[in-house]
Chains A and B, each alone.
Chain A
Amino acid sequence: MTLVQNFPFFSIILAMFSGILSSVLSGKQARNLSLAALVATMVMSAAVLAYCLGAGESYTYMMGHFPAPWGNEIRAGVLEGLTALLFSMIMLLSVAGGMRYTFEDVEASKVNLFFIMIDLMLSSLLALIYTNDLFTAYVFVEINTIAGCGLIMIRQKGRSFSAAIRYMIMSQLGSGLFLIGLTLLYDVTGHLLMSPAKAAVAAIEAAGSYEIPMLVILAVISVGLAIKSGLYPFHSWIPYTYGYATPTASAILSGLVSKGYIFLLIKIFYRVLGQENVIASRMVNVLFLFGLAGMIMGSVHAIMETDTRRMIAYSSVAQIGYIYMGIGLGTENGMIAAVFHMFTHSATKALLFISAVGLYEVSGEKKDFRSLRGAGYRNHLAGIGFTVGALSMVGFPMLSGFISKLLFATAALQTPHKMMLTLIGLAVSTVLNAIYFLRLVITLYGRGEASQLRAQGTEEGLFGTGEASREAFSGRKSAPTVFGGAIICFILLNLFLGLMSQPVVRAIAAGLAMFD
């Protein structure tokens, strides 16, 4: 056992203990501890990824003193390392980018509580990624839910409480279904660890017994996790939750939390129920159809919305639809596309939420997107960040969204009976995406009411308003460099995923192969 093999456990426990420690620290100290934990996690995940890529295989790590069929285990492979690395990176950037707004939105005496939630969120996400035990996964799903609820309600303004209760109710419905699914699975297989459970499932399938219970288990677990990640018909909580939380919380909730559940679902498909059984049961077709519906309906809702942040939130519904559609294709390539889109969406949506708040700030904090007219000139970096994010979501070449769409389309070509539906869905959804995202981008760089002085024909007019608002802007701005740095890193991450997608795609393929 090398030192690197301990890192998954270290990163989980480090995040959890910094959460516990934060409860007695001041806000600033808690922030520093949180950032340190995030950086350490990033480094450790990178080391795990490098180790697994080098070794070419995954490994399990025994927790406690009981060996395989009984005890608890952590498992790390290429995909786990990659996901943990990207998640911790995106989380770090979201926390850094939204930092100033966090300190504005949250009462000074409660800032450390916010960072406790961040730490717990990190540790639960890491645990969902790394765990090899089903019941541990359930416990961390609940910790994740509680931390998410805390992140939503800590703003204590306007709608945050009603958004939090909506989130809690839907999440509890999902958790309940997931729990009963696990319980049934445990009763049928007699194992909670994923690998022995998979062997038991294979024996059951070979014997042809327990047909209906296995179908019920599959359905209940899929639907439970689909509710929690916000697949289309269960999406009603998304716009409220993402639209009214503090920016860091919105970015983390939309970018990472829903992906954690999807990752868990993929893991259960591959590592417990067996991907070929899942495909044979036709459950993938159900996910495929709901995913398609989500792609279209999410975008339609987003077009009808006028509040920018709710618009971005509805776009999440559409993007989650893409991911489930990829899973629903039921092929290796479809799954690779889905996982790649998970990363794309995490990176892009967090960028959109963080840069949107920078634009709001220079536009008088109105909800209507029309108030953002010309905001791209007032806060350049946020404008550029938002544009890059929007273009990536639409699928502009060079950005990560394009690669996801390309992967989805190629995967669709290999599944004849779903090809037409997927391609039509992709096309329609792309056009719809373009309608509302480009409308936003054009608004950002449009010259209208907000810079009416410009209409009088003088250059100083525009300059004057720009200067005035910039003054107001810089007055409230204590650490613009952190915000700017986060936006730049996000843009670079997007470009990296878009321009150098091949290593990532290969790593995903290798990781998925290790799941079996």
Chain B
Amino acid sequence: MTITPDMYERLVNIKTGEISREIFVNEEIYKQELEQVFARAWLLVGHESLIPNPDDFFVSQMGNDSVILTRDRQNNIHVLLNSCMHRGMKVCRYDQGNTRAFSCPYHGWSYSTDGRLVEAPGQLVGVPGFEEHYRCELDKKAWGLVRCPKVVNHKGSIWACWDENAPSFYDYLGDMRLYLDAALDHRDGTEGGSEVIGGVQKWRVKCNWKFAAENFIGDHYHNISHRSVDLVGIGPSGGRGRRDKDTAGPYQNVIIGFPALGHGANGHLPRFEEAPYFPTWQKYPEVQEYFREVYEARKKRLGDQFRVQTGTGTIFPNMSFHGQQPRTLAIFHPVGPTEMEMWRFYLVDKDAPQAVKDAIRHYALRYSGPGGLTESDDMENWLYASEASRGTIARRHPYNYQMGNGYAKPVEGLKGAVQGGDTTEENARILYNRWAQFMAGKSWSELMPAQTA
């Protein structure tokens, strides 16, 4: 099957709510995805708390490329392609660490980010035999590590984009920013103020990466797959269920999406006041008290400001977050049409008492990740949905995304947002529609008409 750009409108038919299984299993589509989506979109690469000191580095991934996230001695954060310019060897094979230079083990080329030594971060500084063998004719400035042209530190989360012509991160994010911020901010409402608990979970799942992106963009409908853990009850207040409820009073999570941008969340509609207080973490008095205190502080700090509260959300294409319990960031790296590598970072308030961080961490590990009682069941569903969609006959039949089609309505106060109530497939349609636009090779002026008009 040869896939041409004009085919995506048929593969992803938002009008009828039918999406071809090919986009989850096809090798050709996967290869185009790496070019059209991952080489163009803004991608999460890490968090500043993973590289707190000068010369710290953390090895990350963008699409199917290994990259190094580094902090230089001038405190600037860079993203460099982790491949020697001479023969391609990985210049850094550690997950994290601290170094003044990345030296290639193969022929010894070395690269530096120190602004006093080099004009451009990642520039080539050492070449064995530079005088004798290269006769000083090698242009070192031209052969530095490939540097990602666009990098943004947003409240500690680090985002990067390979496409020089891409819109700014904030235009790309639009008003979805509010929901992302509700996950990134300190629980007392202070901007940022969160840190990643040491260690990043990384695991392989033989499923298409889009299953995960769809799952977190606002899929209340799959709650039923977690019934076993709900029966056991692992929530921080005891009893059945797997977490504390989202809120008390008139507010509840609804599915809010941004059709022109491809992002979406399962969160509260925007408002100008805090929801009423209700106790959470009731099995852990000290933690319950902490969350009461930060609730009061937030209420005072934000006053009558505009705000949202968020559950899960997805930033197109492959980043998701959870803003409540457990609070996490996730990336779904493409490995193949039916394989991904999932990464999870757990967030806590940087200045929370250790006992609070401990309780949150234990809860997060009990809930999330490959060993989590909740998430282990998601992996089973995503894997066997991918597998059973590979069949010749199966591929002829689209997935059904018809729930709530045509019922979404605008959200007051959020630019370009719609909401489809508590349970709808609106956000999945938004995600795949955006994906199809990227895959059709549309230009940025077509992809971002509001910004470029």
- Is the A/B pair a real complex? no
Residues of A near any B CB (own CB < 8 A): none
Binding site for A on B (CB under 8 A): none
